[in-house]
Amino acid sequence: MHILTVNLGDRSYPIYLGEGLLSRTGELLKKAGSGKKVGIVSNQTVADLYLDPVQESLTRSGFRVIPIFVPEGEEHKNLKSLSDIFDRLIGERFDRSSSLIALGGGVIGDLAGFAAATFLRGIPYIQIPTTLLAQVDASVGGKTGVNHQEGKNLIGAFYQPRLVLIDLEVLRTLPRTEFVAGLAEVIKYGIIEDPQLFALLEANLEDLLSLNRGLLEKAVAASCTIKARVVEKDEHEEDYRSVLNFGHTIGHALESLTGYDQFLHGEAVAIGMAQAATISRREGLCDDKSLERILHLIKGAGLPTDLPSGIRLEELANKMEVDKKSVGGKIKFVLCAGIGKTRFHWLSAEDIIARLASIQKKVESENR
Ligand SMILES: NC(=O)c1ccc[n+]([C@@H]2O[C@H](COP(=O)([O-])OP(=O)(O)OC[C@H]3O[C@@H](n4cnc5c(N)ncnc54)[C@H](O)[C@@H]3O)[C@@H](O)[C@H]2O)c1
Ligand SMILES: [Zn+2]
């Protein structure tokens, strides 16, 4: 078992990473000092697979367990589900010493985390992420929240978990498309911070895609370490944490424009990263060889790199989120300066699509 730490003073917490950890939940939670009453927020799919070992382990350690189900899907990461969770917690007389476990992907993690952040002004919570995306990204760093019909993640809070328990075995039941989408975020960490991780992915992509145990552990541990270090530097995304948005300005806009049903998040981010890297090359920040490696790795993972044909760039621009701290409607766009280094450029949405348009023109002329 790997133990990583997110160092945030009195809100520091461990990330336990290994195989077969679900059946050690009780012991690890005890160590973290939780009260006796524990709610497990999950959905039917994940609960059918993994509730039993978690619940048994907790019961063995003397906890009283209350499973709380929410319906499956991003569309249920909303105020209604939150309110249903509160009803259960009140009905079961949860107090401030009780805790919540998020057992599931990022949807469950964000929802349960926000419930924990706000119930009785905050009760402890534990992340047990069961998708690759949640293991390397959503479960670490304390962003919690729900969607509003007007937009994703509009309601939320920064609230750190007490511990994160990553059992790599659960990835064996994850649909391959979900695994590959999560891999996009792992590739992102390599590009923004870690040439060694990038090279590891390049050299072992096939083995990783077949869920080789040792490689999975290395890739997830390296990713969580990077996420932890970034969050330690800038917990509330005042400055440096936006480096994690590499590929996301274009990726988020594309998800929004296509109504969130054409691409998984990681797929849209893969396209965003490929486009951002190409822009970086054109700005003279990224060399040809690095760009080639980035595109090759993304494609090799089975992820897309091109914007879908038929996308209207002006419409894409309308979906780009302007940075809250910007003056004059600029976006803090993350570019890469080779592999492992980034630069922020303040660009307007129009600046970005002008660059995308010129990339598209070049591709078209090459294809002719
Ligand atoms: N808080 C953050 O920092 C952060 C970061 C990135 C993404 N997110 C959020 O995460 C969400 C996306 O998370 P996701 O990609 O994990 O999707 P998800 O939670 O919707 O899970 C994807 C699907 O896989 C199923 N599933 C989960 N684990 C499984 C397993 N082990 N075996 C089989 N099926 C399994 C789920 O039931 C679901 O159908 C979005 O809401 C996004 O906003 C949050
Ligand atoms: Zn992402």
Region 187-195: mean pLDDT is 98
Q: Please tell me which residue in 252, 293, 332, 355 is annotated as part of the active site.
A: 252
Report the atom number in ligand 1 closest to the C-alpha of 45.
Answer: 37
pLDDT at 34: 85
Q: In this structure, which residue's CA is closest to atom 36 in ligand 1?
A: 105
- 3-state SS class at 78: coil
Q: In this structure, which residue's CA is closest to atom 4 in ligand 1?
A: 138
pLDDT value at 18 more than 80: yes
Q: What is the dihedral of CA 312, 315, 321, 323, to 10 degrees?
A: 90
pLDDT at 366: 84
Exposure on the CB side of residue 35, measured as CA atoms within 13 A:
14
Contacts (Cβ under 8 Å, ≥6 apart) of 145: 110, 113, 114, 153, 154, 155, 156, 157
**Active site includes 233?**
no
Q: Which CATH class is domain 176-367?
A: mainly alpha
Q: What is the pLDDT of residues 200-220, one digit of tens each?
A: 999 999 999 999 999 999 999
Query: How far, in Å, is the centroid of ligand 2 from the Cα of 306?
Result: 17
Distance CA 51, CA 69 (A): 11
Q: Where are the domains of the chain?
A: 2-173, 176-367
pLDDT value at 322 more than 90: no
pLDDT band at 299 (very low <50, low <70, confident <90, very high): very high
pLDDT at 360: 86
Q: What is the pLDDT of residues 93-125, one digit of tens each?
A: 999 999 999 999 999 999 999 999 999 999 999
Query: How far, in Å, is the centroid of ligand 1 from the Cα of 23?
Result: 21
* Structural contact between residues 163 and 14, judged by C-beta atoms closer than 8 angstroms: yes
Region 2-173: CATH code: 3.40.50.1970
pLDDT at 281: 96
Report the atom number in ligand 1 closest to the C-alpha of 264.
Answer: 15
Region 322-342: mean pLDDT is 87
Distance CA 273, CA 254 (A): 12
Ligand 1 pocket check for 106: Cβ under 6 Å: yes
Q: Give the DSSP per-residue string, 109-168.
A: HHHHHHHHHHGGG---EEEEE-SHHIIIIITSS-EEEEEETTEEEEEEEE---SEEEEEG
Distance CA 213, CA 92 (A): 40
Query: How far, in Å, is the centroid of ligand 1 from the Cα of 104?
Result: 7
The structure's pTM equals 0.97
Strand order in the sheet with 163-167: 2-6, 13-18, 163-167, 125-129, 99-104, 37-42, 64-69
